[in-house]
Amino acid sequence: MGYFKLGKMTLKSLFKKPETLRYPYETRPSVDDLKGHIENDIIECTLCGICAKRCPTGCIEVDKAAESWTIDPFDCIQCRTCVRECPQNCLTMMPDYRKPATSKVVSITTKPEPTEEEKAEMARKEEERAARIKAAMEAKAAREKAKQEAADKAE
């Protein structure tokens, strides 16, 4: 009886559409909340390095000097720690798998060169910051001077 059932199943499967897909040529629609791969919105990233410090497999590298953020997708275990810990919310767990590769390559994202408007905006902010620091220092010096004059009068 067992052999009969098995034979029937085998015959059926010969004419049935296969259950498996020829990935990556064919893919299924991704399910909600699929742990696919990590992507960084580098424009928002401040290169603070928190994600690299928290990643349990050490697969993220942040190079402030080169303004680059690197991930080794082959070492990533899709735990989402980096996504949770990023203070800028610029990391996303994409709900699809990365394309298969024939060699182990890392993915490097580099900050784009700022545009002329962005450069002007950065210069303006830097000027504002310098002015705020100068004003705070002047106010502190004035407070200390007033304190000293009050102490001299009291003597």
Where does this chain bind ligand SF4 (CB under 6 A)?
Answer: 38, 40, 45-51, 55-57, 59-60, 62, 69, 71, 76-82, 86, 88, 90-91
- By beta-carbon proximity to ligand SF4, the closer residue of 46 and 110 is 46
Q: Which residue type does 41 have? A: D
CB of 10: closest distance to ligand SF4 in angstroms?
42
Both structure tokens of 111: 């900050």
Contact between 27 and 21 under an 8 Å Cβ cutoff? The reply is: yes
Q: Are 45 and 69 in contact (CB under 8 A)?
A: yes
Closest approach, Cβ 32 to ligand SF4, in A, equals 18
Q: What is the largest CA-CA distance in the chain?
A: 113
Q: Pick between residue 87 and residue 129 the one whose CB is nearest to ligand SF4.
A: 87
Q: How far apart are CA 143 and CA 29, in angstroms?
A: 66
Task: For the CB of residue 43, give the shortest distance to ligand SF4 in the complex, in Å.
Answer: 11
